[in-house]
Structure 1
């Protein structure tokens, strides 16, 4: 899916932003899994309106690490708002008009606590792991990696409350024949809470951990959430959502936090529509905050 920058902001989700600049929830069925991302220019047609031929001349221009940057910020989210200045780690082609092009899928969620996979590798990167009674020739290759490991694990596990995946060649392929392999992965467990308009969202961690807010969206993106007893006219507008940093500003770093789901706090993105606040967050010990 091509995401055209509007100003410096890119919105990733299942619906395009409308001209008013609203941010839309990625999917009412799941969370975002970014499949590809390119920042640069690989053709002369995309985002060419109003640009000079010189600004479109280089069609072999792309930043190498764009996918990793976008996945780190967006994978596992219901909605993702990116600023292109944060995506750009360097200018791959000065003087050329660039754009961001992404594709993503929506991974179903079980609700409540959900898994988000950071990294995964099926192979071998050290002699010391899973080495019991194995002959040395099966352990000596410590540069055995599978580039598809994270994708396979993420597609199986992201958004689920629990997940089992077999560490086997039949699942990941045999990337280094003759080497005894293992699956190493890292992940976080994140939560989602929903508060209907004019109620309160209560976020709480166990003792010793603090809140880290990943996403907060106020509005309406489906006709079922917080719809009980509401007339059709109040739930029919499902293109009514806006991202807000107010929850993160109020709650990040606290053990617990209560915030009102109201237009007085977040503004009213669609007058006459009954709205709700959807927050994705996790709980971490304070020292873990910047190691993600």
Structure 2
């Protein structure tokens, strides 16, 4: 659905099937999610929805066919909401954009990982210190002699962090990277990084493909960062042998992209060893580029037009055994507005059902909305297995469904790996309002850099962390440690992380004025 009256749906692409083992996988048996080469285009979505203001379509084999029997599938749709041409001629565009400022601080224990991430846009490192600049950070349980030296910094630390992280949407740094030299022997050190999340285009070109960078008329390319190599096993991996994608510590900066493309309106560059060198023979590589399109300075002085939208979404899932409902936001975080488990009308999830199972339309389970909000608010994505709601039956004999309405709300998102500090901060005069916070682990990729498999394989280990809201709401800035001593150890032996989603808002009396 589109949020504004007068807007129309335009579907960019839709697939039905399965192409990874993590999506719509909550509590599904392994046999139903292991086939990740099972998907096909779903043009019926565009045929049914293009030109409408809202549209409902069922993700089912009867709608899109069953290309791989026994696999639990999902429907992926990418679409935009746009005004009709006539309306665009008369409707003004107004808005503003925010460049968020973030900070990550990680104590220098063996194996600790610092994670920089941007919910939207890319990382631009402004400051990084490995050493010690004050005596309070990472001082818990340390003797006085290990924290008294506050003029300690490793030369080149900022350059190392910038080289590895600038231009990425996310980046992880193991403390082992900085132990090549000791700037102050006997002092307990930390890595303190300040960075901004800057709006940018991101493009990936697999080896021997072309990367196309292009801007609107009158704009110029400015490359933030580019790397060539491989840093994960999923990108550009389709039907490649395992031996070609297993080396994920194989990448290096590609300054040639900026040299070739900066200042141009469009640019084409080939992702190849002949262009960027072969730093790890036998590995199938890819080129990652982050860039912005900007007007020359004199144009910016005349006009700046940007748009920010809060989208409204709906998910409806029939109550069959093992079915999974997925809420997701391309940017921003989920804020659940309504959720009903039961039945409010007779049409939804009625296909093939006897009349007696759909006639009762005043059926709702108490507490369903609270359960969905508890698990999903503040997340960029969230999955709910229908088994969660079968603890009680609000209307015996009625075939039920889970109907959830939610918004994707712009928010700051920060992740702090275990034994790191999470920094929440707002502009002067604004206050923090935490939407949601969890501590634990719900995937095997976050805060995983060089951690042993045994510490990251339990991905059903997380719980709400209300202490973040209790400590930070109403403040202009806030620091909280991601640790078992703060949030408890719900799954011993698992290396955890703290996820926080929050907004910066002016106090009510400020808004009145």
- Relative to the length of structure 2, the TM-score reads 0.27
Structure whose CA Rg is larger:
2
- Relative to the length of structure 1, the TM-score reads 0.44
- Bigger RCO of structures 1 and 2 (CA < 8 A, at least 6 apart): 1
